[in-house]
């Protein structure tokens, strides 16, 4: 394994400006959607007094969770000392910052009063996990920025391990905080479960890794740099483990719920119910997001690059379906306010079997805008600083590379 | 690289620059629209400090239920009434509204009246007299 | 004394007190019960934990089909119908229930339960959701950023989000787009000592007398006496929130 040279992305090509232009246009349209929603108020969205968090929150939490997981590769290199991942540390950190920025912007721009962001920064209720998250997110930015600096600056290079450890611990806490947003909600059947925290951590691992693989492949393809099979296969093997780990927590969560009679209503609603969340769970989360990628990664298919890309994309689609069922499905099932009674009528929808939600176009555009911001920051970062190893060909990247073994 | 920076800078200008407004200068506000003889503090004090007074009173009322009217927004509204052409008090959509006339002139944005009534309205109960 | 009589007496006492409260003297009160009902506090005095305001709702007396309390609340607080029930705020709603075992039908009003340990207050990132010393749970709209986490947390779905620009607010109840809101127990009335919340007043006016407002801490208050005499129920008692609103008949 030879010494790694880092380069920046070639920023003079038409393709680069074209991509930046498209992303900027998407972001401008998303800002227009935000203006439309904020000017009119949330009644123009699909959200209402029953489904109070909608598609923007699915996008935001997806991006925030994936951001934490995108740091995986850097952590495996720094904390667990796996040499093959070390050259990717910078890129993995950059992706983490980019995804987090995208997610947070979507979250903030959906607030009822986004103009009061300064209030969120100056008034704190420390019993609120939301308030803690504000510190966890800003702290993540700071720590990862320092981590990148230490990796890039030769003089600080000797400290980068410390920064890497700090970032690793911090992101575990951060995702615990994100999962606990739901875990701490005592009133609802779908939430109020400590397992939300480890579930979100496992999800962050799988989604972050899937995002990283796709970003890595796209970046190396478009910048015409070499990306060897060795590293990709390692990454997809790890991704497979993470997908299985996330599924384990899903299994534990549902088995526990299925055991307790008080949760049978919610489980019946999600697993067999009449709403769109049932196919989202079985087809989206389980089939597309779990079974299919595992089949791809651990059979002969996993040797093909395009299959690895497809598998990663499926994990992302499955993750999206999963967050939809967690965030929106969890609200869609009515709360048990009167356990001994059946609600016959109510002006506030208490008698509903479940609450329907259809996202409006501006919500969808806002969510996509968050993704565009993440991509834009990633590409821009790659263009201005040296994030990219010049080559990730097997002979450069793979510590176990033997010339004769390559067929 | 320079080209890139120019593009990004122009994007930023596009995003931020839309708030600036052009137009003729606002007329000087009329600050003498008041019922009774004087304000709760001398003019030069209240001009500078009214925000502090109102903010302090806001927290006292909201969190501790103290409903004295001396420094309350309601106190301002009930006293500084500007009557419109129909003889009724104008609301903050009107340029002549007491708060609005000055804030427009000084170009200081306030969001009080997104929630608070900007005219004295008698309610179903005589609360907080 | 039948409860109807009792309520009639209370009404006249309250009317009397409405006048008496203005002078803010207790010496005019002819008896201990009356002191118990005295609600006025001087305007410059802070509320204190000596009081705990609450409601007692008797679903046996609540007439099915009657929504006088809802109408009164909307009128009192300037809540209008705008874009339909899915997005319009509802601080109080009528719910009709059927007992799963016996099939008995009953109806009751449901609103913010003014918990002693409110989940909405726990989760609010800015502290905009708060519980006043006297037990009333409120939203400080000055610091509410509209994140709706409190709506996720409330076990009673008592909170509404303002989904559009409002223009017809009443002077004592400022409300606006992008903030969350809920029942205030008519806090402007409580502070002014001007009687029951609008819903209770309307229920009494209909002669249903299904709702009673008062100080749970005051052992001479009617509501305290009722709580002593009869078994009442907290909604979602399993959550141990010690609600300020109690129910009878369910």
Could you give the ipTM of this predicted complex? Answer: 0.94
pLDDT of residue C5: 45
Beta strands A6-7 and A388-389 are antiparallel
List the Cα angle C127/C129/C133 in 5-degree steps. 95
Of A146, A135, A125, nearest in space to A104 by CA:
A135
Chains adjacent to A (≥3 CB pairs closer than 8 angstroms): B, C
Q: How far is CA C244 from the centre of its chain?
A: 8
pLDDT of residue B25: 65
- Cβ of A187 and C153 within 8 Å? yes
Q: Does C142 touch chain B (CB under 8 A)?
A: yes
Residues of B in contact with C44 (CB under 8 A): 66, 68
Angle, to 10 degrees, between the axis of helix A55-70 and the axis of helix A129-152?
A: 40
Q: Which two tokens stand for residue C26?
A: 């207790």
**CA pair distance C156, C91, nearest whole angstrom:** 11
**CA pair distance C250, C234, nearest whole angstrom:** 10
Question: So where are chain A's domains?
Answer: 6-399
Domain C49-248 adopts which CATH fold? Answer: Alpha-Beta Plaits (3.30.70)
Of B74, B86, B11, B66, nearest in space to B40 by CA:
B74
Most A CBs within 10 A among C93, C106, C123, hence the mutation to make, goes to C123
**CA pair distance A236, A216, nearest whole angstrom:** 12
Q: Give yes or no for a contact between C195 and C72, defined as CB atoms under 8 angstroms apart.
A: no
Beta strands C53-58 and C105-111 are unpaired
Q: Does B126 touch chain C (CB under 8 A)?
A: yes
**CA pair distance A190, A270, nearest whole angstrom:** 10
- Cβ of A384 and B1 within 8 Å? yes
B98-129 per-position pLDDT tens digit: 898 889 888 998 889 999 999 886 644 333 33
**Low-confidence residues of chain B: pLDDT under 50:** 1, 17-22, 123-129
CA separation, residue B68 to residues A18, A95, C18, C173 (Å): 62, 54, 19, 16
Residues of C in contact with B66 (CB under 8 A): 43-46
**CA pair distance C70, C64, nearest whole angstrom:** 13
Considering only residues 52 to 91 of chain B, which have any Cβ-Cβ distance to chain C shorter than 8 Å?
58, 60, 62-69, 74, 77
- Cβ of A11 and B11 within 8 Å? no
pLDDT of residue C34: 41
The residues on A that touch B, with CB distances below 8 Å, are: 11-12, 17, 20, 24, 28, 31, 115, 380, 383-384
Burial class of C56 by CB neighbour count within 10 A (0 to 12, 13 to 18, 19+): buried
Report the length, in residues, of chain A: 407
**Low-confidence residues of chain A: pLDDT under 70:** 1-2, 403-407
**CA pair distance A315, A312, nearest whole angstrom:** 5
- Cβ of A337 and C122 within 8 Å? no
Give the nearest chain A residue to C129 (CA atoms): A125
Q: Dihedrals φ, ψ of C41, to 5°?
A: -125, 150
Beta strands in chain C (DSSP E): 53-58, 92-99, 105-111, 129-131, 137-139, 160-161, 180-181, 211-215, 245-248
Task: Quote the percentage of chain C above a pLDDT of 70.
Answer: 84
Count of CB pairs separated by less than 8 Å, B with C:
82
**CA pair distance C217, C191, nearest whole angstrom:** 17
**CA pair distance C128, A89, nearest whole angstrom:** 41
pLDDT of residue B104: 87
Q: Give yes or no for a contact between C172 and B127, defined as CB atoms under 8 angstroms apart.
A: yes
Burial class of C102 by CB neighbour count within 10 A (0 to 12, 13 to 18, 19+): exposed
DSSP state of C56: E
- Cβ of B65 and C44 within 8 Å? no
**CA pair distance A148, A71, nearest whole angstrom:** 11
pLDDT of residue B122: 63
Residue C193 has pLDDT above 60, yes or no: yes
Strand partners for C111: C92
pLDDT of residue B29: 73
- Cβ of A347 and C89 within 8 Å? no
**CA pair distance B8, A381, nearest whole angstrom:** 13
pLDDT of residue B10: 57
Q: What is the average pLDDT across C217-244?
A: 96
**CA pair distance A216, A265, nearest whole angstrom:** 43
Strand partners for C248: C58
A43-98 per-position pLDDT tens digit: 999 999 999 999 999 999 999 999 999 999 999 999 999 989 999 999 999 999 99
DSSP state of B87: S
Residues of A in contact with B11 (CB under 8 A): 24
pLDDT of residue B16: 55
Domain A6-399 adopts which CATH fold? Answer: Formate dehydrogenase/DMSO reductase fold (1.20.1630)
Question: So where are chain C's domains?
Answer: 49-248
pLDDT of residue A216: 97
Q: What is the average pLDDT across C7-34?
A: 44
Chains adjacent to C (≥3 CB pairs closer than 8 angstroms): A, B
Q: What is the average pLDDT across C147-157?
A: 97
Q: What DSSP line would sit under A215-276, residue for residue?
A: HHHHHHHHTT--B-HHHHHHHHHHHHHHHHHHHHHHHHHHHHHHHSGGGHHHHHHHHH-SST
More confident residue, B68 or C16: B68
**For residue B109, what are the contacts with CB-CB under 8 A and spacing of at least 6?**
B103
Instruction: Name the residue among A11, A17, A20 with its Cβ closest to that of B1.
Output: A11
pLDDT of residue A401: 78
pLDDT of residue B9: 61
CA A67 to chain C, closest CA, distance in angstroms equals: 21
Most A CBs within 10 A among C125, C141, C165, hence the mutation to make, goes to C125
Most C CBs within 10 A among A110, A185, A338, hence the mutation to make, goes to A338
**For residue C148, what are the contacts with CB-CB under 8 A and spacing of at least 6?**
A52, A53, A112, C161, C180
pLDDT of residue B28: 72
Instruction: Name the residue among A11, A31, A115 with its Cβ closest to that of B4.
Output: A11
Q: How far is CA B31 from the centre of its chain?
A: 13
CA C250 to chain B, closest CA, distance in angstroms equals: 33
**For residue C225, what are the contacts with CB-CB under 8 A and spacing of at least 6?**
none
**CA pair distance A407, A4, nearest whole angstrom:** 24
- Cβ of C75 and B126 within 8 Å? no
Residue written as tokens 């997104």? B114
Residue written as tokens 């349209």? A29
Residue written as tokens 């705990």? C52
The helix (H) or strand (E) run that includes residue A324 is helix A305-324
Angle, to 10 degrees, between the axis of helix A305-324 and the axis of helix A196-222?
A: 140
Give the nearest chain C residue to B58 (CA atoms): C142
- Cβ of B66 and C46 within 8 Å? yes
Beta strands C53-58 and C211-215 are antiparallel
DSSP state of A7: E
pLDDT of residue A406: 45
**Helix extents (H) in A51-195:** 55-70, 72-78, 89-109, 117-122, 129-152, 160-183
Considering only residues 73 to 92 of chain C, which have any Cβ-Cβ distance to chain B shorter than 8 Å?
75-76
Q: Does B108 touch chain C (CB under 8 A)?
A: no
**CA pair distance C171, B115, nearest whole angstrom:** 9
Longest dimension (CA), chain A: 76
C39-87 per-position pLDDT tens digit: 568 888 999 999 999 999 999 999 999 999 999 999 999 999 999 999 9
- Cβ of C140 and B62 within 8 Å? yes
Considering only residues 342 to 401 of chain A, which have any Cβ-Cβ distance to chain C shorter than 8 Å?
342-350
């Amino acid at each position: 394994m030879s010494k790694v040279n880092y380069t920046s992305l070639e920023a003079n090509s038409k393709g680069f400006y074209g991509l930046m232009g498209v992303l900027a246009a998407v972001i401008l349209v998303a800002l227009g959607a935000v203006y439309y929603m904020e000017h009119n108020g949330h009644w123009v969205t699909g959200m209402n007094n029953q489904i109070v968090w909608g598609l923007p929150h699915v996008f935001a939490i997806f991006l925030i969770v994936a951001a934490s997981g995108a740091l995986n590769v850097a952590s495996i290199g720094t904390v667990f000392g796996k040499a093959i991942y070390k050259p990717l540390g910078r890129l993995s950190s950059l992706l983490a910052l980019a995804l987090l920025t995208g997610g947070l912007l979507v979250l903030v721009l959906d607030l009822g009063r986004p103009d009061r962001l300064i209030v969120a920064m100056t008034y704190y209720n420390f019993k609120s996990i939301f308030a803690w998250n504000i510190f966890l997110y800003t702290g993540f930015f700071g720590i990862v920025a320092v981590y990148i600096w230490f990796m890039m600056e030769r003089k600080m290079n000797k400290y980068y391990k410390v920064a890497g450890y700090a970032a690793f611990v911090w992101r575990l806490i951060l995702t615990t905080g994100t999962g606990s947003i739901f875990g701490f909600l005592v009133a609802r059947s779908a939430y109020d479960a400590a397992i939300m925290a480890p579930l979100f951590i496992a999800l962050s691992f799988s989604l972050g890794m899937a995002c990283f693989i796709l970003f890595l492949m796209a970046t190396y393809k478009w910048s015409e740099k070499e990306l060897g099979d060795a590293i990709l296969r390692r990454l997809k093997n790890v991704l497979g483990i993470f997908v299985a780990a996330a599924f384990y927590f899903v299994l534990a969560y549902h088995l526990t719920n299925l055991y307790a009679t008080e949760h049978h209503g919610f489980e019946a609603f999600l697993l067999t119910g009449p709403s769109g969340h049932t196919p989202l769970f079985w087809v989206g989360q389980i089939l597309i997001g779990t079974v299919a990628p595992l089949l791809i990664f651990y059979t002969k298919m996993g040797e093909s690059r395009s299959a690895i890309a497809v598998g990663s994309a499926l994990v992302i689609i499955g993750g999206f379906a999963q967050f939809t069922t967690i965030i929106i499905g969890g609200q869609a099932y009515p709360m048990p306010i009167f356990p001994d009674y059946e609600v016959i009528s109510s002006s506030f929808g208490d008698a509903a079997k479940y609450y329907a939600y259809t996202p409006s176009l501006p919500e969808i555009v806002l969510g996509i805008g968050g993704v565009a911001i993440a991509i834009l920051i990633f590409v821009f970062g790659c263009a201005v600083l040296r994030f990219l190893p010049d080559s990730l060909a097997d002979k450069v990247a793979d510590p176990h590379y033997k010339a004769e073994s390559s067929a | 690289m320079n080209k890139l920076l120019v593009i990004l800078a122009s994007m930023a200008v596009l995003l931020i620059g839309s708030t600036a407004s052009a137009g003729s200068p606002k007329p000087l506000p009329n600050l003498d629209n008041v019922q009774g003889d004087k304000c709760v503090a001398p003019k030069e004090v209240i001009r500078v400090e009214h925000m502090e007074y109102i903010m302090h009173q806001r927290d006292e009322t909201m969190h501790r239920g103290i409903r004295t009217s001396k420094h309350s927004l309601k106190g301002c509204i009930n006293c500084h009434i500007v009557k419109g052409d129909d003889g009724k008090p104008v609301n903050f959509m009107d340029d002549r509204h007491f708060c609005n006339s000055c804030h427009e002139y000084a170009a200081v944005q306030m969001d009080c009246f997104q929630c608070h009534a900007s005219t004295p309205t008698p309610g179903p109960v005589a609360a907080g007299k | 004394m039948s409860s109807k009589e009792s309520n009639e007496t209370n009404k006249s006492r309250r009317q009397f007190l409405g006048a008496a409260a203005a002078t803010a003297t207790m010496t005019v009160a002819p008896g201990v019960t009356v002191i118990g009902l005295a609600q006025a506090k001087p305007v410059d005095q802070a509320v204190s934990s000596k009081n705990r305001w609450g409601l007692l709702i008797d679903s046996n007396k609540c007439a099915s089909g009657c929504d006088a309390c809802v109408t009164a609340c909307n009128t009192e607080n300037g809540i209008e119908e705008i874009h339909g029930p899915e997005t319009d705020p509802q601080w109080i709603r009528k719910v009709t229930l059927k007992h799963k075992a016996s099939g008995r039908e009953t109806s009751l009003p449901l609103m913010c339960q003014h918990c002693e340990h409110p989940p909405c207050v726990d989760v609010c990132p800015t502290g905009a959701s708060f519980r006043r010393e006297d037990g009333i749970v409120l939203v400080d709209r000055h610091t509410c950023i509209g994140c709706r986490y409190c709506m996720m947390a409330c076990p009673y779905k008592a909170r509404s989000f303002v989904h559009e620009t409002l223009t017809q607010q009443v002077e004592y109840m400022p409300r606006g787009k992008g903030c969350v809101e809920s029942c205030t127990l008519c806090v402007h009335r409580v502070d002014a000592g001007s009687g029951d919340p609008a819903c209770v007043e309307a229920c009494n006016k209909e002669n249903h007398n299904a709702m009673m407002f008062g100080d749970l801490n005051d052992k001479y208050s009617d509501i305290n006496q009722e709580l002593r005499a009869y078994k009442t129920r907290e909604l979602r008692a399993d959550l141990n929130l010690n609600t300020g609103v109690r129910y009878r008949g369910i």
